[in-house]
Structures are given as C-alpha cells and as structure tokens.
Amino acid sequence: MISSKSIRVFAPATVANVACGFDVLGFAIHGLGDYVTARFSDVSGLSIESVTGDDGRLPRDPKKNTAGLAALALMKKTGMKDGVGIALSIEKKMPLGSGLGSSAASSAAAVVAVNELLGKPFSLQDLLPFAVEGEIAASGTAHADNVAAALFGGFILVKTHNPPDVISLHTPPKLFCTIIHPSIEIQTRNSRLILKKEVQLEKAVTQWGNLGALIAGLYTEDYDLIGRSLHDEIVEPVRSMLIPGFAEMKQAAMEAGALGCSISGSGPSLFVLSTSEEIATKAGKEMGKVLKEIGLEFDVHISKINTEGASVVDNL
C-alpha cells in the first residue's frame, strides 16, 4: 500500500460563483495556492505537524482543520489499520478570508497528497467527496465549487453538492483573469448569513439565462457572449456592500476593456475576465487606482486559467 515516504502537493487558488453561478461555478488560477506535504509518522492516526503562512490562526487539531478533515475522511474510507500514522505539513500561499478558496486549496492538496502516499487507492474523481468534507470547517456547508476547481482545474459546474456531482467545462484559450485583493477580510460564514433567503422569480429567470449563456459561451469560445453573461442579479448586489469601492472598481475594469467583473467567492477579492494579458493588466491597474484613492492597500494578480488543478510537486 505504501508508495512513498513523503508527498508534497500544490493546489491552486480558485474563483467561485463566477458572477451568475452562485455555488455552482468555479475556475482555478495559476500562481496562488497552498502546499500540503503528507508523510508517514510514528504517531498513530492523523496529525498536523506544522502550518505556515497563517499567522497562527488556523487550528492544528485535524478534526477542526480543513485539510485535516478532508484527509481524515479519506483515511476512514480506506479502513486503515490502527497504528498507522500520517503527518501533514501545510503551507498557505494566499491570504485567508480573501474569497480565493484558501480552505478549498488546502483540502484538495491534502486528499491528493494522502492518496498518493497510500498508493493511490482512489481516482481523482473519487477524492472529491473527501475534499468537500474540509469545506464544512470553513463555511459550515458542504459546497464543492471552490474545491472541485482546485482539485480538477479549469472551469467546473456543480450539478449537486450532496453527493457532489461535478462537470468539467471547456476553457477558452484567450481568457485571462485579473484578481484584485483589497487588504480587508471577509469570512465565508458571515458573507453567507447576509444573503436573502428568497429570490424574486424575475431575477431568478434572468440568472438562469445568464448561467446557461455563460456555459454556452465557454464551449463555443464566444467571448462576447461570455461578457454579456457575467452578470449577477442575486448575490453581488448584497455582498458588494461589504467591499469598499466595489462599484468604482467594476466600472474601471469595464472601461479598461474587460469582459466582466464580479466578486470572487465571498469576497473581498474581485475577479475580472479579459481576452488578453494587456487588458487584464490594464484592468488591474485602473482598479488599483480606486483603492489607492480610498486609502486601502491591495494586491493584484494576473493569470491564465489553470487547467491542471492539484498536482504532485515532490515525491521523496
């Protein structure tokens, strides 16, 4: 069963919702993400040896940590014998509470690392339910939009969350993503609490149309249709109130030539989709000007869509 003594895996940051696809759409980006290393340990069961990049804020108890919960779900399914020990080391390489799927990246990286360590008893598709278990610790609900994108890469559509049924979508080659992250933090749990429990039928119909059209645009590589579909009738109007300068940043991105702009996950990060690196860079620059004027620090990240997802980077 044992294939290696130590496995290090990277899982990418992700953008969830993608404007019109609340809780059902997501995609992965390059550059930002988390590393998880799994190794066999003399201590029985699962332990978390270290967490870096979190300023000591994340729990080291595996039953309260997103990566730990995901790994525990996998280990339980394998029926591991008593006495077998696995230790995890987690490296956070993106801001917490940024709306970029930090908890999902840790969960995805953990299940891939532990699965590799145990000789790959599960396929990549089989790992998704285990990774979703980690999301419960972060948001209180088992949603798969971030974690599926981190695991599989590219654009994904979540048909159902319980059990998770996820479809990988086509990724048009010209798409670039701009991420701007204001230096504030919004917890996923809190951002879900402010959402309305009821939606007007007219708004719901518009949202369904946008979602269907966006997926059609991805498959046909119709960038104009993608741009016309990146509109959120339901969630953005509520959550945008938590993000200083949101309307001005969105307007700046569109005037720079972007296809569309909305909130990444629960925020405060915004994502922008463009058809060239030049436009993506210009959009980030113009949005940054808005935050400078209101005195907020920020980070900007430009990326193509990451179609690879979670991957082994070291096998020692």
Q: What is the pLDDT of residues 294-307, one digit of tens each?
A: 999 999 999 999 99
- Contact assessment for residue 144 and residue 164, using Cβ atoms and an 8 Å cutoff: yes
List the catalytic residue out of 188, 236, 275, 286: 188
- Residue 163 has a pLDDT of 86
Same fold, 6-170 and 176-304: no
Residue 128 above 70 pLDDT?
A: yes
On whether the 176-304 domain is CATH 3.30.70.890, my answer is: yes
Residue 3 above 60 pLDDT?
A: no
Strand order in the sheet with 176-182: 260-263, 270-274, 176-182, 298-304
- Residue 143 has a pLDDT of 81
Residue 1 above 70 pLDDT?
A: no
- Sketch the domain layout of the chain as residue ranges: 6-170, 176-304
Residue 9 above 80 pLDDT?
A: yes
List the catalytic residue out of 116, 133, 135, 286: 135
pLDDT in tens, 160-183: 988 889 999 999 999 999 999 999
Question: Has 133 been annotated as catalytic?
Answer: no
Q: Whole-model pTM?
A: 0.93
Question: Has 14 been annotated as catalytic?
Answer: no
What share of the chain in percent tops pLDDT 70? 94
CATH number for the domain formed by residue range(s) 6-170: 3.30.230.10
pLDDT in tens, 66-98: 999 999 999 999 987 767 899 999 999 998 888
